[in-house]
């Protein structure tokens, strides 16, 4: 079967090549690298009220604006840097979301110190094993789960801003904590086999 004829998840707009590439190469693949995890979580947070594709198109601009999501550099961002970012047309110019990235970087560092890595902390909410779901149609997909509820509650308790269960669940989907590729999507079984899921 040719690549363009492969069956993919029902949420994907297959007319957008960059979106297809994201689905095929990144979405649902387990991530354990702390810097990648922070980037993903902060981009999901930036998405709040918007479409993921809106953020995906700006991902390189976000990396440039936010020190490639290096938490140690972000933790040093000043009020002057925030003012610079608020007028940066290459990103979503939302002061609350911008301030949240800096705030969350500091708490992220605290979590790393407590658990040895953010990855170890995060994956603990799914017992360090991907949850493999069975979705047939777009209507089957949930916005949250009991795991995302528990995780977002803990993040908020620790002081994270612009974080909720829906954002956490989207992150869990993107970073492979759950395998939410639809039952007929070709990537579902590929990821299951590669990472010995289920």
Enzyme catalytic residues: 22, 44, 52
178 phi, psi to nearest 5 deg = -125, 145
Rounded-to-integer distance, Cα 102 and Cα 21, Å: 29
What value, to the nearest 5°, has the Cα angle with vertex 85 and ends 84 and 89? 110
CA 155 to chain centre: 14
Find all residues with CB under 8 Å of 56, minimum gap 6, and list them: 18, 19, 22
Query: For the chain, first and last CA: distance in Å?
Result: 26
């Amino acid at each position: 079967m040719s690549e363009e004829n492969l069956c993919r998840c029902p949420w994907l707009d297959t007319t957008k090549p960059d979106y297809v590439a994201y689905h095929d190469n990144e979405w649902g693949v387990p991530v354990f690298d702390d810097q990648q995890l922070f980037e993903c979580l902060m981009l999901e947070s930036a998405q709040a009220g918007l479409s993921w594709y809106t953020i995906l198109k700006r991902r390189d601009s976000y990396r440039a604006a936010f020190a490639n999501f290096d938490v140690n550099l972000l933790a040093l961002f000043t009020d002057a840097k925030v003012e610079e970012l608020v007028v940066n047309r290459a990103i979503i110019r939302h002061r609350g979301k911008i301030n949240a990235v800096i705030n969350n970087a500091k708490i992220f560092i605290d979590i790393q110190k407590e658990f040895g890595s953010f990855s170890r902390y995060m994956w603990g909410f799914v017992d360090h094993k991907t949850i493999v779901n069975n979705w047939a149609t777009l209507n089957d997909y949930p916005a949250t789960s009991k795991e995302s509820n528990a995780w977002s509650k803990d993040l908020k308790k620790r002081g994270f801003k612009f974080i909720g269960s829906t954002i956490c669940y989207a992150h869990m989907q993107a970073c492979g904590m759950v395998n939410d590729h639809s039952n007929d999507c070709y990537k579902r079984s590929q990821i299951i086999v590669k990472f010995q899921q289920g």
